[in-house]
Structures are given as C-alpha cells and as structure tokens.
Structure 1
Amino acid sequence: MNALLPPSQAFGLLAGFAAVMIVLVIFLDTRRQGSQTREHFLVANRNVRWWHGSLSIAVSWVWAPAIFITALQSYTKGIAGAFWFIAPNILCFFLFAPLALRLRTLVPNGYTMPEFIITRYKGSKYAHIAFLLVFFGYQIGALIINALAGGTLLAVLTGVNFHLCVVAMSVTALIYSLISGMEASVITDVIQMLMILLIGFILVPFVLVEAGGMQAVLGGLGGVSGEFGNILHPGIAFAFGIPMTLGLLSGPIGDQMFFQRAYAVRAHHIIRTFVIGGLLFGIVPILLSLLGFVAANPAFGIDVADPQMVSPIVIAYFLPQWALLLFTLMAFAGLASTIDSAYVALSSLGAIDIYKHYVHPNPSDTQILKASRITMIAMAVVGTGIALLRPQLLWVFLIYGALASAGFFPTILSLCWNRITANGAATAVVASLLVGTPLSFYANITGNETLVVIAAIASIAIGGVILLVNGIMNKEPTVDFAHMEH
C-alpha cells in the first residue's frame, strides 16, 4: 500500500518529538543536586509518585500490538477478538500487583527479580542463570519486537525508509536513557502516555462523529465477516483467547520493566500504582478497537489493503491529514516508551546481575553506572542490529512468549512457597523452555489451532508441575521468608 503521509512531514514530526524528549531530560538532569548514584539511575531513588508510576507502567506496556493489533483484532475477529486481546492485557496488571508488593516486602532495597532469586536460593548460580536467561531474553525480545514492528509499520505509514525508522526509534530512546536511566524513563513515559491519551481522545471521537456516531461502531461488532458478534464466541475463545490470555498474564511476570518500577515507586503505593496503571493502559486498546469496528462496518466499504494498518486507514478515510500526523506521533511515543524502558531494564540486569555478581562483587556507584550504560549500548547494538535484519516477527514473538511462560510459576512460587529448591526452580525454567519453545514453534508454523492451545498450556504447566512435585517432596523449608522481611 502507498504511504499515507509525505515522508518529509512525518520525519520532521518524529525528529521534533525526539529533540523535545532529549532536551527535556538534559534540562531536568542539570537541575538535579548531587552526583548520580545507582539508586538514582536504576530505581529513581525509590521515590516515584503513584500517578507518575501508573502512567509510566501503562505506557511501558503500550507495545506495538496495543497501537496496531488492537484494531486488527476488532476488524478481523469482531468484539470477540477485541475482548480476548484487551481483557487479559488489563488483568495482567492486577495479577502482577501483589507479586510486586511481595518482592518489595522481601527485598526492599533490591533492583531486579533475578537478584532476588540468587538471594532466595542462597547463591545458586544454576537458579540465577536460568532466571537471568528468562529476564534478559525477554527484554531483548521487547527491544527487537518494538523496533522491528514499529519500524515496519511506521515505514508503511509514512514512507520513511524502514532502516531509518528503526534506528531513529532506538537511538532516540537510547540517548535520553543513557543520561539519567530510570528517572529519564519515567519522565518521558509520563509525557508520552499523556500524549497518547490526549491524541486518542481527539482522534477516535472525531472519527465517530464523522462516521455518524456509535451506530458506525455497532455495525461492525461482528468483524469484517460479520461472524463474531458474540463476545464469547467459542471458536475465538478457544483458538485465540486461551493462548492470548496465558501469554499476556505471563508477560509482566517475566518482565524486568515491571519489577524495576515496583522498586522505583514509593513502597506504600505499589498496589495503587499497578492497578491504576492497568486501567489507564486499557483506555488505549479500547479506544483503538473502535476504529477496527468502524472499518468492519459494511456501510462504509472501506478498502483495508493491510489489516495491520486499519487504524490509520480509517483515520485517513474520515479525517484530514493532520489527524494522521497525530496518529504517527502517538505510535512513535508508544513504541519509544517501551524501547527506553527495555534499555533501563537491561541496564539493571547487566549491572546488578552480571557485573556485580560475576565480575566485581563490591562495585562503587561509578562502576555500576558505567556497567549500566555499557549494557544499554551493547544491547542497543544487538537488538537494533537484529531488528534491521528483519527476522520473522512470529519467531521473535514465540521466543519471547516462551521465555515469559517458562518463568511464570517459577517466579510466583519462588516468591510465595518456602519449600521450592534451587534445583527445582531452575529445572522448571529449563524444562519449560526445552519443551514449550519447539512445541510452540511447530504449532504456530503448521497453523494447528488445537496444538497452539496445547503448546500455550504446556509452556506454563510444565514448570508448575515440576515445582509442585519439588515442593511436596521437599519437606523442609529452603528459605525463611519471615527473616527476609526483617
């Protein structure tokens, strides 16, 4: 399909956005009193207000799917597809909130989830490396997916060269992340989420007014085929709902972005931060799903050449060109926010879990900051480089999904059950990866819907079963949680 925007306008807008974010972070950093410390760079001095934290975690979850795939699901699978994409995307925040509070209670001055694992399992390198594989791999996956999907979709939308789009997003987020780490991420997240909400509340109602009101939405609730008007359509619930729900609920539990923000917000605001963050996030896919319903309404006969681009296609159909510029800005803000959060999360894993535990046991703040920034730059080169090679997006999704699923029960039970052993936890992670990943690949490549569901369940269940047996067979506690809390 042809570009919907002139490249010069789109590139000028994105360059302006990047300049504003970078200048803002530099300005705020110059006003900071004292030198940077690991506390400041990695967890924003553990003093992030709940509303800043809520906006930050909400926009960090606005991956490429939330911007583009929501409308695709409502267009192709109707209200059933929209429901099974949006509901677990919101519920995952509610599941994560008590786990975040639990981690902060057990290790109030920690930085990462794998760091808790090595403490919980008394220095076990096997357990630590197994969990580090999950968390490090997941963050690299987040970087690759958002750079790849964002670069592809922005290139199609604007006509700007794909490689330039990828590099622009990655470098913009890298520059301001290098300046002040978590503080920069939170500051820019707040602005980007407010920008996304404002643009969404301008564009979508404007489209509905031009389309004739809510009747335009109601006419497309069944999707483009008209078959999926039942929100609990059994076929969609089975083939799409089960894998999507399991994958999305697992996501935050394998995501250092979430755990890092659990350490950054004020301790007594953790639950509020994540619950409100989930509700704020939900506004974005709900709003954008309405565009998919409008596109599916046969009364308009909108030609959707590429269903992934249904949102901008609908906006271009009903609104002037300035509206497409706003949507481009919205998409860039959402993608950049996730990429910068991935950089900061990777910096904490590199500095704390690799440098501190395996290179220099007693590093100074200066050494931690140097290790953090080196990790960011190295991962930017790796992640952006892989994205520029244009790997199959499905393969990247499957790998990062398998990583999250493998860490689901091992992470939860490591936090909550004192009879899990280090070998049990590590074996659960490794077994889930070794069995679940190839099964998921085979199921999705062959397109066997039943096997896709089995693979999604197996990827999570394998670790759960191993740990259940491990905990039952091990009669003695392996950790004193009460002692850790004090």
Structure 2
Amino acid sequence: MQGIIVLIVYALLMVGATKAFTKREDGGESFHVGHRNMGMVVSAMSIAATWIWAPALFTSAEKAYSNGIAGLFWFLVPNILCLILFIPFARKIRRDMPDGITLSGYMHKKYKSEPVKRVYLFQLTALTILSTAVQLLAGGKILSTATGLPLWAMTIVLAVIAFSYSQISGIKASVFTDAIQMVFLLLACAIFVPWALKLNGGAAAIQIAGAGGEYGHLFLEKGLEVFLGFGLPTAIGLFAGPFGDQCFWQRAFSIRKDRIGRSFGLGAVMFAVVPLSMGILGFIAAGTGFIPTDTGMVNFELIKAIFPAWVIIPFMFMLISGLLSTVDSNLCAIASLTTDLKATARLKDADQIKASKASMIVLLIVGILIANIPGLTVTHMFLFYCTLRATTMLPTMLTLMNVRLTASGVVVGVLTAFLVGLPIFAYGTISNLSAYKTAGSLITVLSSGMVALVISRVLKREAVE
C-alpha cells in the first residue's frame, strides 16, 4: 500500500507542477529546446538528475558493498570527470550550430551525408532505448518488492507517469521536474546517510568495509582485479557517456549560451553527492556484516532493515525521482531525434509534436518489453550500454576539434566499433571474463576514431592523386 501511495502522490506532484509552471508547447523547436535560454541552476539540477540513473543509485552501493573503496572509486570518479570533459565540446557544438537540436543533425550538417546521420541516429536511439529499459527494470524491482505487484505492472506504471508530464511541454517539463527531483534526492541523502552512520558505528563501519578491506588499494591484488574487470570498461563507457547520449546534447542546445560551462560544472558537483551517499550505505552494509537478498539492491534492503518502517516512503520517493528523471530526459531525447527524419521534418509544427509524442510512446513500449526479459541485471545492462555510447565518441570529438574526416571514414569507423568491439565486450560480460571486457571496451572506443582517421587520409590521398 505504501508503494502505491508514493506512486500516486509522485505522479500528481509532477503533473501538477508541470502544468502550473510550464505551458503546453505548440512549436516543434520550443518543444525540443525551449527557447535556448534556460538558466544555470535549473539546468545544472537537470543535468545532475539526468545523470543519476539506476547505476548511480544502485551500482554505486553494490560496488562499495562488494569491492570496497576500489569499487566505489572506479564508479564515482569517471562519472564526475566525464561531465567536466564534456564542457568544451558542448560549447563548441553550440557555436558551430546555434540553431541545432540533435547530435545526429550536427554530424549530418558537417558531413552532408545521410549514412553518417543514420549511424548516429541508430546509436543514439539504441542508447535511449537501453537506458530507458534499465531505469524501468530497477524501479520496477523496487516497487514490485514494496507493493507485492508484479514487475511488469510496475514498469508500465513508471512509464505512464514519466509520459504524463513529459508530453505537456517537452524539454521544459523535463528540466523543471528534474530540478524538483534533484531536491528530493539531495534531501534524502542529507537525511539517510548521517542517520545510518549514527546507527551503525559511523566511520568504523566505513573503515572496515572500505580502506581496511582487501579492496582498500586501487592497484594491488584485488583492487587491480576490480580495475581490469570493472574500472577500466566502466571508465571508458562513462567518459563516452555524454558524447553518445542525446539527452546532454539536447541540453547543450537548450541552455543559455553563456551558461553552458557553469551549468555542466555545477551539475557534476550536485551529481557526485548521490552516488557517494549510496556508496557510503554500501560500506555500512559491508562493515556491519549485513547480508542482502540481492546485492544489487543492498542500499534499499539496508534502509528497510535498520530504519523505522515509515522511512521507506521518502527513500522510495528519492529512488523514483532518480530513475524517472532519466526516463523523462530519454523521452525528450527520442522526441528530438524525430526532427532528423525526413518525413517528420516536412510536417507542420502541430503534426511534428504529434510525431514526437508517438515516438515517446514507442520508446516506452520497447523499454518495458526489454525490462521484463528474465535474468537481466542492472549492472550488466549498465556495462553494455556504457560501451555502446563509446562507438561514436572519438569521431564526434575529432569532428568538434576540427579534425578533417570524411563521411565514409566516420561511417566505417563507427560500424567497426559496432561489429568488432561490442561483440567482444558482450561475450566478456556474459562470460564474466575481465580480459574480454577490457579488450572489447578499448577496441570499441579506439577503433571508431582510428579507422575513421585512416580511411579519411587514404581517401583524401587518392583524391589528390
């Protein structure tokens, strides 16, 4: 019953706030990028909330619980640095294409090539689908446990809630509700972590599980195992994260031009609070000998075990906020990607918005189906789609750095990453083989850029001759 009440209250709050503080958008461009003048603080909160996906809430706690300080370090630090690394590229794309909406649209404009646009649309769309599925999977598991209702029903409910407010005003609804969700997240962290420390021996529990455990050193024995099997592929995927995610390019086009850098910088700081707090809960669980039923949900189970029963309500509010902030951003991202379809581009504004909303519904249906595949885990899906994002990272960076590539070079480079790097990584993940996961990650991120450079130089040389 508690879980159902939380869902109803949450849905009413998000829809009510969206209707009260934003207006329904009738223009296609305003639906996707607002009026390109969003402020620093609200944008920073939106960036942070969008980056707080299921792994930030659960994988951080799981890795801290299972792999101590090494596990948390290799999840937390790359997560923060990637947003900082993204800043100069976000500024550059806005200067190069002030009227832009999507990364795929930018690459199409630069190379005047339909194949380039198509490979980017495929990568951005696939990432959006998998990201949505993993949020629904994690949220559905939590709510299924809390309500006793089946997983499939909870994934549908979460999807309906996210759509109910996102379709009102597009990116404005997403950014505004993200800011509200971020407030819930920060308040929950400020309450639960000090309280849990007070109840469980404070710093002593963290010392036992973190620096004092077998994973207390980053590059010695067990710490090195964590680096090779989790840290390196995670770092590669996370550094590629914003570069292969339309959610962040969409915000680069929506924020006031002179506030882009400060917005992403402040967003990185705000984001860091949440996975660090969840990691501390993982340390506490390990240091006190707590044995969870599912290590992937160790923070949720710890909260249920040590706090009064009523505490689960605000904690669930925090979890739902973190998960749905990414889902609503994905809905706006998939809607914006429809602007790159020729059939949609020819439509009038009202019909463009209808097409965008239809794409939102299709995204949620596919996400629900994937989330309900038996045996899927949040961590495995996180690692896979982190690597998927890396397929376009280097061609994108090189293009924004004004390195002269050819359209054919970009296409073949990205396809090489898809067809060679991703299968190796997938095999390593399924078989739990660290060497294959690491090799797959490196091949994925490096091959796209190296192949693009080599082919571009060969074609240019042939053209000269």
Deviation of 1:389 after TM superposition, in Å, equals 3.9
| CA positional deviation for 1:151 | 1.0
Aligned 8 A contact 2:61 2:299 in 1: yes
The answer to whether structure 1 residue 433 and structure 2 residue 421 are counterparts is no
Indicate the larger mover: 374-383 or 279-288: 374-383
Is residue 135 of structure 1 aligned with residue 124 of structure 2? yes
Alignment map for 1:38-437 (pairs within 5 Å): 38-122=28-112, 124-222=113-211, 226-232=213-219, 233-297=223-287, 300-350=288-338, 352-354=339-341, 358-359=342-343, 361-390=345-374, 392-393=376-377, 396-397=381-382, 399-437=384-422
8 Å contact kept, 2:2–2:146:
no
Indicate if the aligned counterparts of 1:402 and 1:433 stay in contact, CA closer than 8 A: no
Deviation for aligned residue 1:157: 4.5
Quote the residue 1:484 is aligned against. none
* CA distance 1:137–1:391, shift in 2 (3 Å): farther
User: Offset at 1:316?
Assistant: 2.7
Partner of 1:20: 13
| Structure 2 CA distance for aligned equivalents of residues 353 and 391 of structure 1 | 35
% identical equivalent positions: 35
**Residues 46 and 264 of structure 1 are in contact (CA less than 8 Å); yes or no, is this contact kept in structure 2?**
yes
Alpha-carbon distance in 1 for matches of 2:193, 2:43: 26
Question: The residue matched to 1:46 in structure 2 has which SS?
Answer: coil
Q: Deviations over 1:351-387 (max 9, x none)?
A: x111xxx215544322321221121122222222332
- Structure 1 residue runs of 5 or longer lacking an equivalent are 1-7, 479-486
CA shift for structure 1 position 474: 5.4
Q: Distance in 2 between matches of 1:293 and 1:458?
A: 33
The more displaced of 304-313 and 171-180 is: 304-313
Q: 1:270: Cα distance to partner?
A: 0.6
In the alignment, the residues of structure 2 paired with residue 220 and residue 399 of structure 1 have an alpha-carbon distance, to the nearest angstrom, of 28
Per the TM alignment, residue 410 of structure 1 is displaced from its structure 2 partner at its CA by: 1.4
Report the residue type matching 1:24 in the other structure: A
- Cα distance in 2 for residues equivalent to 1:147 and 1:346: 16
Q: How far does residue 313 in structure 1 lie from its aligned partner after superposition?
A: 2.4
Amino acid at match of 2:168: I
Q: CA deviation at 1:431?
A: 1.1
Q: Superposition RMSD on alpha carbons, in Å?
A: 1.9
Structure 2 CA distance for aligned equivalents of residues 301 and 454 of structure 1: 35
* Alpha-carbon separation, structure 1, partners of 2:268 and 2:354: 33
Give the distance between the partners of 1:386 and 1:289, measured in 2 at CA.
Answer: 27
Q: Is the 8 A contact 2:233 2:387 kept in 1?
A: no
When the two structures are aligned, how many residues end up with a matched partner?
A: 458
Deviation of 1:231 after TM superposition, in Å, equals: 3.7
Moved more, 372-381 or 89-98: 372-381
Residue 10 of structure 1 corresponds to 3
Q: TM-score, normalised by structure 2?
A: 0.94
- How far apart, CA to CA, are the structure 2 residues paired with 1:152 and 1:283? 24
Q: Which amino acid aligns with 1:90?
A: I
CA distance in 1, matches of 2:245, 2:188: 27
Distance 2:234 2:305 in 1: 30
Distance 1:366 1:360 in 2: 11
Preserved CA contact (<8 Å) 2:428 2:437: yes
Deviations 1:42-82 (A, max 9, x none): 11211110111100011101111111111110010000100
| Contact 1:185-1:340 within 8 A present in 2 as well | yes
Change (3 A) 1:154 1:396: same
Q: What does the per-residue CA deviation read over 1:420-452, in whole Å, with 9 as the maximum and x for residues that have no partner?
A: 001111111111101112111211222221121
Moved more, 231-240 or 110-119: 231-240
Deviation at 1:87, TM superposition (A): 0.4
Q: Distance in 1 between matches of 2:278 and 2:76?
A: 11
Deviation sequence 1:313-340 (CA, Å, 0-9, x none): 2223332112222111111111111111
- Aligned in 2, Cα 1:402/1:86: closer, same or farther, shift over 3 Å? closer
Aligned equivalents of 1:396 and 1:307: distance in 2? 16
Q: What is residue 37 of structure 1 aligned with on the other side?
A: 27
CA–CA distance in 2 between the matches of 1:411 and 1:304?
42
In structure 2, C-alpha distance between the alignment counterparts of 1:211 and 1:252, rounded to whole Å: 37
Consecutive unaligned residues of structure 2, counting only runs of 5 or more, are none
Q: Do 1:419 and 1:474's aligned partners in 2 also have CA atoms closer than 8 Å?
A: no
Q: In structure 2, what residue type is equivalent to 1:314?
A: L
Query: Given that residues 393 and 445 in structure 2 are in contact (C-alpha distance below 8 angstroms), is that contact kept between their aligned partners in structure 1?
Result: yes
> Which 10-residue stretch deviates more, 51-60 or 227-236?
227-236
Cα 1:395–1:80 change in 2 (3 A) is: closer
Q: Is the 8 A contact 2:55 2:382 kept in 1?
A: no
Paired with 1:458 and 1:281, the residues of 2 have a C-alpha distance of: 29
TM-score (norm 1): 0.90
SS in 1 for 2:35: helix
Relative distance call for 1:339 and 1:227 in structure 2 (3 A) is same
Q: Is the 8 A contact 1:11 1:160 kept in 2?
A: no
> Secondary structure of 1:45's match?
coil
Residue aligned with 2:143, SS? helix
Taking the aligned partners of 1:362 and 1:464, their CA distance within structure 2 comes to 34
Residue 161 of structure 1: how far off its partner (Å): 2.4
What is the CA-CA distance between 1:469 and the residue it aligns to?
1.4
CA shift in 2, pair 1:418/1:244, >3 Å: closer
AA paired with 2:121?
L
Per-residue displacement from partner, 1:125-163 (whole Å, max 9, x unpaired)? 111101111111111111111112221233234433212
Task: Tell whether the 8 Å contact from 2:234 to 2:386 is kept in structure 1 after alignment.
Answer: no
**CA separation of 1:42 and 1:13: change in aligned 2, threshold 3 A:** same
Residue 4 of structure 1 aligns with which residue?
none
